[in-house]
Amino acid sequence: MKKAIVALGGNALLRGDQLGTIEEQEQNSKTTLENVISLIKAGYNIVITHGNGPQVGNILMRNDAGEELYNIAQMPLDVCVADSQGGIGYMLERILRIVLKEHNINKEIVTLVTTVEVDINDEAFKNPTKRVGKIYNKAQADKLTADKGWVFKSDPKLPDGWRRAVPSPQPIKVMNSPVINQLLEAGNIVIAVGGGGVPVYYDENGNVRPAEAVIDKDRASAVLAAEIKADEFYILTDVSNVYINYKQPNEIKLETLTVADAKKYLAEGMFGEGSMAPKVEACLKFVENGGKKAIITEATQLSGENSGTQIIP
């Protein structure tokens, strides 16, 4: 059977303008997961990965509120990432069981809290780019920078939208990939690499240590895809296609993107840092490592013929 990895964006589960109630996230999850059914019916064994940008940002804000109001000790970022993996993974698994039942599909689902190795000397730790948490205006962002020392980056989708940015080092290895592959080849649906995985590194004694970062889930998913030798890689986001000159008068929608053209556009800065650029880079890595096809599209268009932007050799 063919293997496919389907990467769900954090914003596919929680929209930027929503409060983040469980009802909102469950409905968004069901809408998104309905579109994965076409792959399952086509005979694919799938791994579902997911983002956690809005959710882990909310966890961090709860951290701050708990310390300020009740003197509750803050948890580090790696624990917050693990918390978001468990919470989102549980929700996706439960909702997917409902969707499978509605389609009379009998498959087991396994959710795995996943660790991913990074290099603690990665330059990303000096230049935070990964957006997490809610959207603020410029005045709110400036106040939080002054009060808490947070770094903010503008949100390309909003004229006055700013989100907290944290380090996003390159993933080196998905430490649980052999287990994930065994579960997948046994016919299970696996939910893994949530939020890009919990970032860890090896110290001078060979011990696993946590890294204060959020790994880009698309890059981590591409590493996993190569390690388990997946055939196809899908990134579901909130736009139908990849564009050059995005939201400019000369905007162009791309339906097919070769490796050579993708590298050219990346070098020209055509894709947003911390948003579309990592998605394109992840697809490039997957295709260059032997993957047959990578697609970036909006969740509801997954089952359509020739949907989204296809990245090919």
Asked whether residue 70 is assigned to any structural domain, the reply reads no
Asked whether residue 89 is assigned to any structural domain, the reply reads yes
Q: Which structural domain range is residue 302 located in?
A: 3-53+75-117+170-312
Domain total in the chain: 1
pLDDT the model gives residue 272: 83
Asked whether residue 131 is assigned to any structural domain, the reply reads no
Asked whether residue 262 is assigned to any structural domain, the reply reads yes
Over residues 108-146, the pLDDT tens digits come to 999 999 999 999 999 999 999 888 877 889 999 999 899
pLDDT the model gives residue 274: 66
Catalytically annotated residues:
10-11, 130, 217, 279
Tokens found for residue 202: 């090896």
Asked whether residue 153 is assigned to any structural domain, the reply reads no
Asked whether residue 148 is assigned to any structural domain, the reply reads no
Asked whether residue 156 is assigned to any structural domain, the reply reads no
pLDDT the model gives residue 54: 81
pLDDT the model gives residue 95: 97
CATH of the domain at 287: 3.40.1160.10
Which stretches of the chain score pLDDT less than 70?
A: 10-11, 16, 274, 303-306
Asked whether residue 296 is assigned to any structural domain, the reply reads yes
Backbone angles phi, psi at 124, to 5 degrees: -60, -25
pLDDT the model gives residue 304: 59
